[in-house]
Chain A
Amino acid sequence: MNLIEFKDSGLLELYALNACSPEEKLLVEKYLDLYPALSVELDDINAALENYAQIYAETPPIGLDQKIKKQLVFKPELKSFSNVAATEVKKNHLNFYRISLAASLLVVLGLSIILFFTQSRLKDTENQLAILNQEKVLLSENVNRTSLELTNLSQSFKKISTDDFIQVKLAGTEKFPNAQMKVFWNKASKETFISLIQIPNLPSGKQFQLWALVNGKPINAGVFDSLQGILILSDVSTTQADLFAVTIEDKGGSVSPTLSEMVVAGKVIGS
């Protein structure tokens, strides 16, 4: 069957509708591999079907999402590191400052009433206010940092999904067969992001380390902890890499990779 006959047969439409037999499915997939133009055609068909479904779209009743979420397990919200030595936003500190802020306010309020009658309390109040102001400044710095990090994070998402970033799938090794990570690497700007899809538990005192293999030599590309999600690593100091791999090393990383502790590895396609 040539390309025109294939298109006329309606097999591609049937494939999009998920209504063809297993044999026909294989056949379509073979043709899709052979003729890149068919993928474009398939995308167009899928888009039309999506639009078709959208005609019947209807907002579900309010509260349905809450019902669903009750049955699900979620991972904690993301953290990002601009480099290994970046300051961490600690929730504990935030709460501490919030509580001490409230407490300090109450103390100040109480004191100022007594002050009206007792002049000797004035100095205490002034001291409290000074502490309060300091804490307020630290608190707002913390808040600004958090919202900046969130903004950075969503910008990062947008960035790494552009064509400037090569995606490298890192598959598990014999020791860690189920591990899975993905590296997003911008050859031009050298920025590297990594997504932790499935990772083993990190023993205490250890960290993951990313390596880029250049001409057979492994080059350090950054260390990171086992926080789920997408992490932003320091720039990979090379514009050329054939392979990316992750090993488990002592905290702070190592000069050369411990090959027996390799978690995932993947070739850069088209390098």
Chain B
Amino acid sequence: MRKLISEEDLILVLNTGTEAAFNLLYNNYSASIFGSILKIVNNRELAEDITQESFVKIWNNFSSYDSSKGKLYTWMLNIARNTAIDALKSKQERNSLQNQDIENSVYVIDQQYQTDFNTDGIGLKKIVEALPKDQLEILQKMYFEGYTQSEIAKDFEIPLGTVKTRARQAIQKLRGVFNEKQKGGIS
């Protein structure tokens, strides 16, 4: 993962609360955050709005981030995820079912022909998406959409234990893929 600055250094700089600090934060993480939000909401305009909202929240609540409780990026992603999920919920309440389907399908087609800005990811994307479907689905639902294990167990009608196992297997496979890449096994 390309990084301009380490998380530790970034946290120190962020403590200064200056515009330069914000620029560093944005340059380092905006693509990840925007991409994650886009994956959840599947709507470019909405993703832009939510990204804005998320960064405002991240900046204003930075003092509540506790480094002993986890990484900065995880904290940021949670904020982005929750904002996206809330936005989706209220949007669904406003839209009629019909409109929503059309909107989603339009943007699905859009994304298939979208240029992939992240050249690093093209090969990796294919490999990751070749993961067993049931594992990939659980990973996506949990990581990007914030589903809990009981929600998934209910929706997919599978036992909780299975959910846990599949999540673990998915992550094991991910670790395998990225460790291979580090060793230079995947171009």
A-binding segment of B91-99, B102-110, B166-174: B166-174
Contact assessment for A75 and B18 in the assembled complex, using a CB-CB cutoff below 8 Å = yes
Prevailing SS type, chain B contact patch: helix
Segment at the interface with B among A55-63, A119-127, A206-214:
A55-63
Q: Considering the complex, which residues of chain A in the window 16-53 have a beta carbon less than 8 Å from any beta carbon of chain B? A: 16-21, 44-53
A58 to B44, CA, bound (A): 11
A157 contacts which chain B residues (CB < 8 A)?
Answer: 9, 12-13
Q: Does A160 contact B (CB under 8 A)?
A: yes
Contact yes or no, A228 B52, CB < 8 A: no
| Alpha-carbon separation in the docked complex, A195 to B125 (Å) | 41
From B36, B60, B167, contact of A13 by CB (8 A): B167
On chain A, the residues within 8 Å of B20 by CB distance are 77
* Complex Cα–Cα for A56 and B9 (A): 25
Chain B: interface residue total (CB-CB under 8 A): 60
Q: For the complex, give the distance between the alpha carbons of A11 and B171 in Å.
A: 12
Partner of A59, one of B12, B39, B70, B117: B117
Knowing A71-B56, A157-B13, A229-B16 are in contact, say whether A49-B35 is a contact too (CB < 8 A).
no
Please indicate the chain A residues that have their CB under 8 angstroms from the CB of B155 in the complex: none
Residue of A nearest to B2 (CB): A54
The answer, among A19, A44, A77, for a CB contact under 8 Å with B147, is: A19
Contact A161 B31 (CB under 8 A): no
Which residues of the partner chain B approach A205 to less than 8 Å between Cβ atoms? none
Which residues from 182 to 240 on chain A have a C-beta closer than 8 Å to any C-beta of chain B?
A: 182, 195, 197-198, 228-230
Q: Which residues of B contact A51 (CB under 8 A)?
A: 1, 124, 174, 178
Distance of A253 Cα from B12 Cα, bound (Å): 27
Tell me if A74 is interfacial: C-beta within 8 Å of chain B: yes
**Chain B residues whose C-beta falls within 8 Å of the C-beta of A17 in the assembled complex:** 139, 142-143, 167, 171
Is A85 engaged at the interface, CB distance under 8 Å to the other chain? no
Q: Is the C-beta of B38 less than 8 angstroms from some C-beta in chain A?
A: yes
CA gap between A197 and B38 in the complex, in Å: 34
Expressed in whole angstroms, the minimum distance between the Cβ of B57 and any Cβ of chain A is 10
Contact B18 A74 (CB under 8 A): yes
**What is the CB-to-nearest-CB distance from A238 to chain B, in angstroms, rounded to a whole number?**
24
Residues from chain A with a CB closer than 8 A to the CB of B31 are 57-60
- Besides A18-B142, A51-B124, A69-B22, 16 more A-B contacts (Cβ < 8 Å) are A14-B149, A48-B175, A49-B143, A49-B171, A51-B178, A53-B77, A56-B39, A57-B36, A59-B117, A60-B51, A68-B26, A68-B52, A68-B59, A72-B59, A74-B19, A229-B16
Q: Which residues of B contact A (CB under 8 A)?
A: 1, 6, 8-9, 12-13, 15-20, 22-23, 26, 30-32, 34-36, 38-39, 48, 51-52, 55-56, 59-60, 63, 70-71, 73-74, 77-78, 117-118, 120-121, 124-125, 128, 139, 142-143, 146-150, 164-165, 167-168, 171, 174-175, 178
The 23 listed contacts between A and B (C-beta, < 8 Å) are A10-B164, A10-B165, A13-B164, A13-B167, A13-B171, A14-B149, A16-B171, A17-B167, A21-B148, A48-B178, A52-B174, A54-B1, A57-B32, A57-B35, A58-B35, A60-B51, A64-B30, A72-B60, A75-B18, A77-B19, A158-B9, A160-B12, A230-B16
